[in-house]
Structure 1
Amino acid sequence: MLNDSHAVPPTGMEKGQPQSTMSESNTGADQALTALQKVEVGTASHPIHWNPVKKWAVISVYCLLQTFIALSTTTYVSAEFLVKEKYGGSSQVVALGQSLFIVGTAVGPAFLGPLSDIGGRKWVYVGSIGIYAILNIGTALARNLPMLIIFQFLCGAAGSTALSNVAGTIADLFGDMDGAGQPMALFVMSANYGPSIGSPIGELIAENERLGLPWIFWINVIIGGAFAIIMCFIPETLPRIIISNSARKNKSSDPTELAVIEERVDVLKEMRFVTSMAFRIMLTEPIVTFLGIYNGFAYGLLFLYLDGVFDVFAVNNGLSYIDADLTYLNFVVSVTIMFAFIPVQTWFYKRDRKRNGGVGRPEARFLTSLFFVWGFPISLLWFAFTSDGSVSYWSPVVAGGVLGFCDPLLWLAMLNYIADSYTNVAGSAIAAFLIPSFLIAAGCCHIGIVMFDNLSTKWAMAILGFVSFSLVALVYVLYFFGPRIRSWSKLAKK
C-alpha cells in the first residue's frame, strides 16, 4: 500500500544501477552513484545517532499523517449516498471518487519520492500536504460530479507524500531492517488504522444534518492545513542534507562530508531512472509482479469488505448504519496486535540469519507468514458462511479481525522481501510492486459493487475465500523456491 523511493528501509543507502548490470554502462560506476551512497552512517551528524525519543517523536507525527491520509479513502464511501443525492450518477460512477483517489496515491510518489530523496523530506511534506488541503477546497465546493472526481484524484496524488516519505524517513532515522523493524510496523499499523476508522467517521459526518457532504472535505482542509503548519517545525531527516548543513556550519574538512556538500543531483534524471526501472522490473521480474498482484488483492479486500459491511450487519443482522460501520474497528484491534507481534517475526528472522552464517535470506521474511497466510481463506470463508444473520454478528466481526491481522503482517513481509531481494534498486522495485497493487485495489472498489449487487453476501465473500487459496501457494513457492527464482534474475540479489 506504499509507493516510494524507500518504501522500506533498505539494507544500505543504495540507489542506482545494480551491480549485476554495471558492466552494461560505459560511463562507469560513478554515474550510478547518488548522494545517498556517499553518506556514512558513522558520521556524527547522521540522524541515525539522534536521541531515540526525538526519532520516535518525529516518526509518530508522520505516522499520524499517514493515518489521516489513509482514512480519506473510506470517509468518502460513507458519504457516497449524499454524492448521488446531490450530483446524481450511478453507483459505479460515484465510486470513481474513491478509486481515482487510490490511483492518485500511486501516481504521486513517482515524483514526490525522488524529490524527497534529492531536496529533502521536510519541505516535500509541507508543500504537498499544503496543496492537499487546498485541493480539498475544490472537492468541498465541487459544482458537479466530474469536478468532484477530478479533485479526488488530485487530492490522492498530493496526499501520497505520506506514502512517499514516511517509510523513507524511517530509513533515515533507523537505518537497516534490524533497527527499523518496529518503526516500519508502526507505519504499517498507521496505514491500516486510516481505512478502518474512516468509514465510521464518514458516517458520523454524513448523518449529521449540520455537517453533511461538504464537511467530509472541509475537515480534510482543516486537519491537512494543521499538519502542514506543524511539519514546518519538524527537523529535516534526509542524511545528505543534515550532514551537508553540519559540515558547512562547522567548516568540516572530512573528505566524506565534503563529498556530500559537493554532490549535485539531476532531479529529472533521478525521476526518469526510478520510473523507467520500475516499469522494467514490473515487466521482467515475475517475483515483483506476482507479489504486486497478491498485494492488490489483499489491499482490495479492505474495500470489498467495506462494500459488504452494510449488507451483512445492517440488512442481515439488523444493526444501524453507524453500528455496522463501527464493526470495521475490528481491523484497528487486529493491526495493533500485529504491531505487538512483529518482534516475534524479527526473532525468527535473526535466528535464521545466524544459522545461515550471518547472511539474511529474503525468504526468511515469510517465516511466520507461512502459518498466518492461511488466515486469508479461513477468515473469508468464516465470514462468508456466518454472514447471513443465522448466528451472532460477533462471528463475522471476529472473522474480519483475523483478516485484519494477517493482511498487514503479510504486507510488511512482502515489502521486506522485495527490499532484501532488490537491494540496489529497492526504490524502483517497491514502485513496481505497488503499481499493480493500487490499480487492482482501485478496481476492487467497483468490483465489490457488482458482486454485492448480484450475489448474496455469503457467496460474494466465499468466492474471495476460494480465490485466496491459490494465492496462499505464492508465499510457499517464494519461500521454498525463492533462491532458484532469484537466480534467474539479473537484478535480484543472488
Structure 2
Amino acid sequence: MEEKAEQPTAHALNSDADVALSALQKVEFSSASHPIHWSSIKKWPIIAVYCLLQVFVTLSTTTYVSAEFLVQEKYGGSTQVVALGQSMFIVGTAVGPAFLGPLSDIGGRKWIYVVSIGVYAILNIGTALARNLPMLIIFQFLCGAAGSTALSNVAGTIADLFGDLDGAGQPMALFVMSANYGPSIGSPIGELIAENEHLGLPWIFWINVIIAGGFAIIMCFIPETLPRVVISKAAKAHKSSDPTELAVMEERIDVLREIRFVTSMAFRIMLTEPIVTFLGIYNGFAYGLLYLYLDGVFDVFVVNNGLSYMSADLTFLNFVVSVTIMFAFVPVQTWFYKRDRMRNGGIGRPEARFLTSLLFVWGFPISLLWFAFTCDGSVSFWSPVIAGGLLGFCDPLLWLSMLNYIADSYTNVAASAIAAFLIPSFLIAAACCHIGIVMFHNLGAKWAMATLGFISFGLVALVYVLYFFGARIRARSKLARKH
C-alpha cells in the first residue's frame, strides 16, 4: 500500500494537483497495460521472489545474535555494546524507507531493488572484514538501511499488482508472513554457522554477500511493476496516440520534493496524530517482543530446561508455524471486514480492520503470562514453546490490521503515515534488543516475561479504544479520513 499512496503525497497540500493526480491514477487503472491486469501466473512469482528477499534481509537481525559471543571474543566490548550490531541494523531499516520509497517513483521499483540489494551485498563485505567493533556496528547500520528496500518497496509492489486493500489482502498477508519468517529462522541459521569450525563469525556476513548478490542478479530479470513506467513503455512501444496514456507518459516527479514531503509529513503526523503515534509505539513493543523473546531463549530453554544451544534456538521456529496459520486465517479477517462494509452501506470503516483483533489481541497478555509462569523448568518445555506460538499468531495479525487501518485512515498521505508508524516501531524494537538484556539479567526469565505480559494489557486497551472511539478521534484530525 505504501508505494501506491506515495504518488499523490508530494502534492497532497494542493487540492487541484490532488484532483488531477487522482484522475491520472484512474487513467492508469483503465489502461490495458496496467500491471493489475497481468495474469496471476505472472504476478505471484514476482511477489514470491520479493517476499523471499524480505525473509533473507530480516533474518540478518537474528543471525547476528547467535554469533554475538564470537563478536565479543574477537573485538571485546560489553554485552550491551556488542548488541549494538543488531539494534543499529534495525535502526537502519527505519531510516532507509524515507528515501528508498520516493526514489522508486522516479525510474521504477525494479532498479531500486537491484541497486540497493547490490549495495547491501557490498556493505556486508565491510562487516565480514571489520577491523574493530565500531566499524562492524557502522556497517551493520548501513546494511540495515540498504536492505530496507524489502520494507519500502515490497508493499508498494503488491499495490501495483493487486490494487486496493481488498484485492491485495492475501499478498499483503504474505508480505507480513515473510517479515516474521526471517527473524524466526535467523537464530538457528546463525547458530549453525557460528558453531561450525570451518565457518565462524565472518561467514555470517560472507553468506549474506553471496545470497544478496544472487538476488540482485535474479531481480534484473523481473519485470518492472510501477504502473506509470509500465504504461509509458507500452505506449511508446505501440506508438500510442491515446491522450490519456500520453498524460501518463508525461508525468514527472520531483524526487527531492517527494523525499522532503514524505519525511516532513511523517514527523508532523508523529507529533500531531495520536492514532499513528500510539499505534507506532505499541507496534514497536509488539515487534520488539520477538527480540525480547530471543533474549530469554538461553535462560528458559538451556538453563531451566536443559536443552542444547541449537535445540533452544530451534524453539524459535514456533513463530514460523504460527505466522503460517495467520496467513491461512487472513481470508476470515477479510470476510469480517467486507461484511461490515456491506452493513455500512458499502462504506468501509477503518475501525473494522480490528474486528478479529478484538478477540486475538488478548493473546498478547495470555501468551506472555503463560510463558512466564511455565518457563522455570517445572513443566515440559513444550508449554512455553506453545505459549510463544500463540504470540507468533497474534503479533503479525495485529501488525497487518494496523497497516490496513492506517492506509484506510490516511488515504491522501498514506506513505507519510506509514513512515510515521514504522519509525517509532523500529526504534523501539531496536531499544528492546538492549532492554531485554537488562530485564533478563535483573529480573530473571519469569518476571521479565510477566512484566511484558502486564504491559501488553495496554495494547489490548488501545485496540478497544480505536475500535469504539476511532471515528471520533479521526473526526478531530486534519489529515485523517472522516467518512
Counterpart of 1:208 (choices 185, 188, 196) is: 196
The residue that corresponds to 2:463 in the other structure is: 475
Residue 378 of structure 1 is matched in structure 2 by 366
CA distance in structure 1 between the aligned counterparts of 2:230 and 2:215, rounded to whole angstroms: 22
**Counterpart selection for 1:40 from 14, 28, 37:** 28
Q: What residue is the counterpart of 2:413 in the other structure?
A: 425
Q: Which residue of 1 aligns with 2:430?
A: 442
Quick check: 1:63 aligned with 2:51? yes
CA distance in 1, matches of 2:21, 2:92: 30
Contact in 1 for aligned 2:410/2:479 (Cα 8 Å): yes
Aligned to 1:15: 9
Distance, in Å, in 1 between the alignment partners of 2:223 and 2:237 is: 16
Q: Match of 2:166?
A: 178
1:263-302 matches, within 5 Å, as 263-302=251-290
- 1:113 paired to 2:107: no
Corresponding residue for residue 329 of structure 2: 341
Give 2:403's match in structure 1, choosing from 408, 415, 419.
415
Aligned equivalents of 2:74, 2:82: Cα separation in 1? 11
Once the two structures are TM-superposed, the CA of residue 31 in structure 1 deviates from its matched residue by 9.7
User: CA contact under 8 A between 2:28 and 2:228: conserved in structure 1?
Assistant: no
The reply on whether 1:148 has 2:136 as its aligned counterpart is yes
For residues 196 and 408 of structure 1, what CA distance do their matches in structure 2 show?
Answer: 12
CA contact (8 A) 1:277 1:428 kept: yes
Which runs of structure 2 are paired with 1:67-146 in the superposition (5 Å)? 67-146=55-134
Query: In structure 1, what is the equivalent of residue 207 of structure 2?
Result: 219
Q: Which residue of the partner structure matches residue 248 of structure 2?
A: 260
Q: Partner letter of residue 265 of structure 1?
A: I
Counterpart AA for 1:76: Y
Aligned residue for 2:234? 246
Given that 1:309 and 1:325 are in contact with CA atoms closer than 8 Å, whether structure 2 keeps it comes out as yes
Q: Distance in 2 between matches of 1:204 and 1:120?
A: 38
User: What is residue 225 of structure 2 aligned with on the other side?
Assistant: 237
Task: Tell me, in whole angstroms, the C-alpha distance in 2 between the residues paired with 1:220 and 1:467.
Answer: 36
Deviation of the 1:164 alpha carbon: 0.9
> Which amino acid in the other structure matches residue 390 of structure 1?
S
Q: Distance in 2 between matches of 1:212 and 1:261?
A: 52
In the alignment, the residues of structure 2 paired with residue 445 and residue 481 of structure 1 have an alpha-carbon distance, to the nearest angstrom, of 33
The counterpart of 2:37, out of the listed 49, 59, 80, is 49
AA at the equivalent of 2:264: S
**CA shift for structure 1 position 39:** 4.6
Which residue number corresponds to residue 316 of structure 1?
304
CA distance in 1, matches of 2:126, 2:287: 28
Please tell me whether the aligned partners of residues 116 and 149 of structure 2 are also in contact (alpha carbons under 8 angstroms): yes
Q: Which amino acid aligns with 1:15?
A: T
Which of these residues, 470, 476, 480, is aligned with residue 488 of structure 1? 476
Q: Please tell me whether residue 190 in structure 1 is matched to residue 178 in structure 2.
A: yes
What do residues 59-98 of structure 1 show as CA deviations (whole Å, max 9, x unaligned)?
0000000000000000000000000000000000000000
Gaps of 5+ in 2: none
What are the superposed Cα offsets for residues 259-298 of structure 1, whole Å, 9 maximum, x if unpaired?
1111121110111111111111111000000000010000
Residue 157 of structure 2: which of 139, 157, 169 is its match? Answer: 169
Overall identity of the aligned pairs, in %: 84
**1:3 is matched with which residue?**
none
TM-score, normalisation: structure 1: 0.95
Structure 2 residue identity aligned to 1:442: A
TM-superposed CA distance for 1:245, in Å, is: 0.5
Task: Give secondary structure in 2 for the equivalent of 1:41.
Answer: helix
The reply to whether residue 306 of structure 1 matches residue 301 of structure 2 is: no
CA distance in 2 between counterparts of 1:32 and 1:277 reads 21
Secondary structure of the structure 2 residue equivalent to 1:247: helix
What is the Cα-based RMSD across aligned positions, in Å? 1.5
CA offset at residue 7 of structure 1?
3.1
Distance 2:467 2:436 in 1: 31
Q: Quick one: distance in 2 between partners of 1:117 and 1:363?
A: 30
The alpha-carbon distance between structure 1 residues 275 and 463, as it changes in their structure 2 partners (threshold 3 A), is same
2:342 maps to amino acid? K
1:166/1:35 CA distance change after superposition, 3 Å: farther
Structure 1 residue 332 displacement after superposition: 0.1
Give secondary structure in 1 for the equivalent of 2:419: helix
The alpha carbon displacement at 1:35 in A equals: 10
| Whole-angstrom CA distance in 2 between matches of 1:132 and 1:83 | 20
Distance 2:23 2:259 in 1: 14
Runs of 4+ in 1 over 2 A off after TM superposition: 6-10, 12-18, 28-40
Partner of 2:453: 465
CA distance in 1 between partners of 2:82 and 2:475 (Å): 46
Q: Distance in 2 between matches of 1:78 and 1:329?
A: 15
8 Å CA contact retained: 1:39, 1:239: no
Post-superposition CA distance 1:352-375 (Å, at most 9, x none): 000000000000000000000000
Post-superposition offset of 1:118: 2.3
Rounded to whole Å, the distance in 2 between the matches of 1:421 and 1:254 is 35
> How far apart in 2 are the matches of 1:92 and 1:84?
10
Structure 1's unaligned 5+ residue stretches are 1-5
Contact 1:7–1:415, Cα closer than 8 Å, also in 2:
no
* Shift in CA distance, 493/34, structure 1 to aligned 2, threshold 3 Å: closer
Distance in 1, matches of 2:111 and 2:3, equals 21
Q: Give the Cα separation in 2 of the matches to 1:413 and 1:43.
A: 31
Do the aligned partners of 2:3 and 2:152 also contact (CA within 8 Å) in 1? no
Cα distance in 2 for partners of 1:265, 1:291 equals: 30
Decide whether aligned partners of structure 1 residues 220 and 234 sit closer, same or farther in structure 2, where only a CA change above 3 A counts: same
The answer to whether the Cα contact below 8 Å between 2:364 and 2:391 also exists between their aligned partners in 1 is yes
Deviation at 1:229, TM superposition (A): 0.2
1:456 paired with 2:453, answer: no
1:395 is matched with which residue? 383
